[in-house]
Each structure stands twice: as structure tokens, then as C-alpha cells.
């Protein structure tokens, strides 16, 4: 049986945000909630995201399309802050159509969203390859180069340009010329032909034309009609361009940029649900204080099937870091926590949970996002008893083993935010709602 979401109380407009380094299970939470919402909105990132949703024995992988597309009455929006690879988007639409998911007028794409072009993906890869050390370990989906071109303004192409042959040709001719000079000088790469790129993406633009609109106007009209909005964050707070473990981050404000990325001000949000794994994982480079590059980490990876949805890379795994979690929850104003993959922690005799760092001999409970400083953080652990009972078939939070309940209580008391959803498996029914009442902040 699907969980009774009404136990969460009236959520109002809700933001779902990942509180670690991504892959916390945001897709599952969005899928559970979208039945109650009129709009599901992606507002940041691009096809670097990989959100998996399991419904019955079917598995869906979303990269650009909001996970709400599985619900018929939900309008799915790619707002202005998303960077859109039109080739990847069309291929995702095709794949979903092959799985029986209908995508028609219910998908809306902002004319102001920036376009990821083939040269962005190439630049992403070339730039990573050129780094001898300190590689970010990007998903090579062109995200960083596209957001850089957005900030440069003169190098940018937006969805509206894709729908206007003259504008597109003028821009591509000039930009590809610049890219060729850069690629040849820096990477000794062969030149690209702007006309080939023009043809390829112009045709994509034609196919996407019916979906493109002014999504800021659309969302404000929805607000005026008291429609319910669900914002699906991609990536996660510790990958936020400003507040994450810089420079090992992505190129959007994935924890804090909802208003800029959607045109909907933060004052219109009622609930912010933070999604967190019962442990930590990270893909790509960068510091990770509680990483267990040993038998423990391997056990977590095997039990949690921790391999990337987008790139298939094995994820680095380790103990839950409450210092990082409390920071992340503060930075994005979380009003309720969804603790995911708790089932994975079964069969450990004891569990560790990080409650402070020692940096240069000084103890601190404040997260240090600078990657160089964080690399010197030595975690201080509390030890909690583990449990051996499988959680896969639990139907009620009341049936959680006392050790699991104690683990959740410790999270709640440290972060000072209530745990309201506990996930014990990928399926919809493997979800426990804790307590009743409201999680909304206003």
C-alpha cells in the first residue's frame, strides 16, 4: 500500500532539496508527493542529475524531466534556471515514451533557460582531462561550461534562440569561432563546424517548440489560482556553487537558488523537505570527512547499490555526517527531514555518526565548506547500536527496531528538525510517515 501522505499535514508549496552530495532519493520523494501537487518544477542543474523512481516493477530514470511526469494531472516545468541539453531531453522523452509515459502539453520549458550545446560537453571533458590533479570528476554533461557561458552573457544561447533561425545562426557562428580558437590553443582539438551544430540543435528546437513558454508567468498565474507547486531540487546543498565544498561542486546554486531559478520568491514556499541518506555518499572528487574507503564503505555500497544513475560510477560511501547535515539544513531552511535508505544500515553491529570535526587540533561543530580546510577535518564519532532485523517489509514507524528509532532520534536532536519520512526501500510502499501534524513553516 502507498504511504498516507496526508499524515504530513497540508504542505502548501513545497521544495524538495538534497542535503548531502546528491543521490539522496529526491526522485522517490517527489514521486510520492506529486499526486498531491498541480505543478512539479525543476529549477536548477541539467542532465547531470539522475533521479530514479520505482513504481511496481518498473524503474524510471529522470535527468531533466521532473519526476512528477508519472502523474497525469501534474504540469511539469523546466524553469529558467535549468540548463537544457535539447538532444538529451529529446532522448529522455523518447525513452519515457517507450516506457508508456505520455509527454504532451504537460511539459513546459522556459524560453529563458540556457541551452547546453555539443561544445559544452566537449569542453567539460577536455577541461577535466587537462587537469593533472584536483579533477572535479564532473558528469561531463556540459553543465559547468554552459553556466559559465550564461554568466559571460555574450557566449550564451537560450531556448528562445533555438526557435529563431536567424538569431541562432548568428550566435553559433560567432560562438563556435571563439570555441575553436580556445579548443585549438588549449587542447589541440580539431575545429567544429557551426553549421553542423546549427542543423542538429535547430531540429531539436523545432521538436521542443510546442513546450516552450514563459514559465515565470505560468507559475505566477498558478500561484494566483492557488495551485500547489512542488519544486524538485537537483544535485544537493554540499554541491552548491556558493555553499558547497568549493571547488568540488556543481555550477548552480542547487541548495539556495530556487527563487532565481524559477522566478518564484522564497516567501511563496510553505515547506522545505530535506532529503538525506541514513549514511553519506559522494561521486567525483572532493573532501568527504566520514568516507570509509574500506570494508565498511564497500558493504554500504553493495547493500545500497551505490552506483550513479547518470554515469554508472561507483559512489564513495561513509558514515552519516551530522555536522554537514545540520549545516545543509540551516542553509536551505529545511522544515522536515526525509531519511532515506535506512534499510541499508541493517546488519551492522554498531553504527558511527559524526557529531564534530577536529581541524588543526581544534574541535568544531560548524561545517567548513572550503575544500582545502575540510580535507583536514578529522571526524569525531558517536557510536550507536546497530540492528540486524531487515526493514524492507515494515509497514509502520512503530515497528522500527528500537536501535533504528534511536538512530533517527539522534539525527533529529542534533539537526533540530523533525524526521517525518523514513524510507526503507526504493518502492513507494517502503515508506514510513512518522507522527501526524504539520511540517509546513507558514
Report the catalytic residues.
Answer: 23, 51
Asked if 23 touches ligand IMO (CB under 6 A), the answer is yes
b (16+ CB within 10 A) / e for 366-382: ebbbebeebeebebeee
**Closest approach of ligand IMO to the CB of residue 301, in Å:** 14
Piece of the chain touching ligand IMO by CB under 6 A; list 47-55, 298-306, 323-331, 377-385: 47-55
Q: Per-residue x/- marks for Mg ion, 381-410, CB under 5 A? A: ------------------------------
CA dist., res. 86 & res. 173, Å (int): 19
**According to CB under 5 A, which one of 8, 16, 17, 23 is a site residue for Mg ion?**
23
Partner from ligand IMO, ligand GDP, Mg ion, none binding residue 65, C-beta < 5-8 Å depending on class: none
Q: What is the DSSP letter of 22?
A: S
Is position 48 an interface residue for ligand IMO (rule: CB under 6 A)? Answer: yes
Shorter beta-carbon distance to Mg ion: residue 29 or 219? 29
What is the smallest separation between the CB atom of 307 and ligand IMO, expressed in angstroms?
A: 11
Contact present, 313 and 23 (Cβ < 8 Å): no
Least separation in angstroms between residue 82's CB and ligand GDP is 15
Q: Does 311 bind Mg ion (CB under 5 A)?
A: no
Phi–psi pair at 213, nearest 5 degrees: -160, -175
Checking 368-374 for CB contacts under 8 A at 24+ apart, the result is: 369/238, 369/243, 369/244, 369/245, 369/246, 369/327, 370/245, 370/246, 371/245, 371/246, 371/247, 371/248, 371/286, 371/287, 374/245, 374/287, 374/289
Q: Are 46 and 159 in contact (CB under 8 A)?
A: no
Among 25, 261, 284, 287, binds ligand IMO (CB under 6 A): 284
DSSP calls for 63-81: SSS-GGGGSTT-EEEE-TT
- Helix/strand/coil for 316: strand
Count the residues of the shown chain that bind ligand IMO, applying the rule CB under 6 A.
24
Q: Which of Mg ion, ligand IMO, ligand GDP, none does residue 257 bind to, with CB < 5 to 8 Å depending on kind?
A: none
For strands 431-433 and 419-423, give the pairing.
antiparallel
Taking the complex as a whole, the smallest distance from the CB of residue 428 to ligand IMO amounts, in Å, to 19
Quick check: 50 binds Mg ion (CB under 5 A)? yes
For the bound state, the minimum distance from the C-beta of residue 334 to ligand IMO, rounded and expressed in Å, comes to 16
Q: Scan residues 252-271 and list those touching ligand GDP (CB under 6 A).
A: none
Q: Which of 17, 19, 26, 22 is nearest to 324 (CA)?
A: 19
52 in contact with ligand GDP (CB under 6 A) = yes
Distant-in-sequence, close-in-space partners of 310: CB < 8 Å, separation ≥ 6: 47, 48, 49, 50, 63, 139, 141
Interface contacts to ligand GDP, rule CB under 6 A:
18, 22-28, 50-52, 54, 304, 309, 340-341, 343-344, 423-426
Interface contacts to ligand IMO, rule CB under 6 A:
18, 21-23, 48-51, 136-139, 141, 143-144, 234-236, 239, 250-251, 283-284, 309
Amino acid at each position: 500500500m502507498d504511504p498516507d501522505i496526508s499524515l504530513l499535514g497540508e504542505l502548501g508549496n513545497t521544495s524538495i532539496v538534497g542535503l548531502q552530495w546528491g543521490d539522496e532519493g529526491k526522485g522517490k520523494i517527489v514521486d510520492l508527493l506529486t499526486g498531491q501537487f498541480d505543478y512539479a518544477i525543476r529549477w536548477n542543474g541539467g542532465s547531470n542529475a539522475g533521479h530514479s523512481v520505482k513504481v511496481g516493477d518498473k524503474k524510471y530514470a529522470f535527468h531533466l524531466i521532473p519526476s512528477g511526469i508519472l502523474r497525469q494531472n501534474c504540469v511539469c516545468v523546466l524553469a529558467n534556471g535549468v540548463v537544457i541539453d535539447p538532444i538529451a531531453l529529446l532522448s529522455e522523452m523518447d525513452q519515457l515514451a517507450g516506457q508508456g509515459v505520455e509527454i504532451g502539453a504537460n511539459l513546459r520549458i522556459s524560453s529563458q533557460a540556457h541551452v547546453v550545446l555539443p561544445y559544452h560537453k566537449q569542453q567539460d571533458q577536455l577541461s577535466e582531462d587537462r587537469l593533472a590533479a584536483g579533477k572535479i570528476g564532473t558528469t561531463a554533461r556540459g553543465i559547468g561550461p554552459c553556466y559559465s557561458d550564461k554568466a559571460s552573457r555574450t557566449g550564451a544561447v537560450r531556448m528562445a534562440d533555438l526557435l529563431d533561425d536567424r538569431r541562432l545562426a548568428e550566435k553559433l557562428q560567432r560562438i563556435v569561432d571563439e570555441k575553436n580558437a580556445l579548443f585549438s590553443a588549449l587542447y589541440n582539438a580539431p575545429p567544429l563546424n557551426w553549421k553542423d551544430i546549427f542543423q542538429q540543435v535547430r531540429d531539436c528546437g523545432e521538436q521542443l517548440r510546442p513546450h516552450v513558454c514563459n514559465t515565470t508567468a505560468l507559475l505566477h498565474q498558478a500561484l494566483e489560482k492557488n495551485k500547489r507547486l512542488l519544486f524538485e531540487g537537483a544535485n544537493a546543498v554540499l554541491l552548491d556553487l556558493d555553499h558547497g565544498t568549493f571547488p568540488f561542486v556543481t555550477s548552480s546554486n542547487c541548495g539556495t537558488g530556487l527563487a532565481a531559478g524559477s522566478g518564484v520568491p522564497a516567501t511563496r514556499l510553505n515547506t522545505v523537505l530535506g532529503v538525506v541518506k541514513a549514511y553519506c555518499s559522494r561521486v567525483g572528487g572532493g573532501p568527504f570527512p566520514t568516507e570509509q574507503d574500506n570494508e565498511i564503505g564497500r558493504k554500504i555500497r553493495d547493500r545500497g547499490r551505490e552506483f550513479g544513475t547518470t554515469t554508472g560510477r561507483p559512489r564513495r560511501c561513509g558514515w552519516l555526517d551530522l555536522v554537514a547535515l545540520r549545516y545543509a539544513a540551516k542553509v536551505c531552511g529545511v522544515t522536515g527531514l526525509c531519511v532515506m535508505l535506512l534499510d541499508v544500515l541493517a546488519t551492522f553491529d554498531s553504527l558511527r555518526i559524526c557529531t564534530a570535526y577536529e581541524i588543526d587540533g581544534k574541535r568544531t561543530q560548524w561545517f567548513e565548506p572550503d575544500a582545502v580546510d575540510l580535507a583536514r577535518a578529522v571526524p569525531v564519532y558517536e557510536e550507536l547500536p546497530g540492528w540486524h532485523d531487515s526493514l524492507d517489509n515494515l509497514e509502520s514507524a512503530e515497528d522500527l527496531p528500537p536501535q533504528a528509532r534511536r538512530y533517527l532520534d539522534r539525527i533529529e536532536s542534533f539537526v533540530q528538525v523533525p524526521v517525518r519520512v523514513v524510507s526503507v526501500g526504493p518502492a513507494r510502499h517502503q515508506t514510513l510517515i512518522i507522527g501526524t501534524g504539520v511540517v509546513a513553516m507558514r
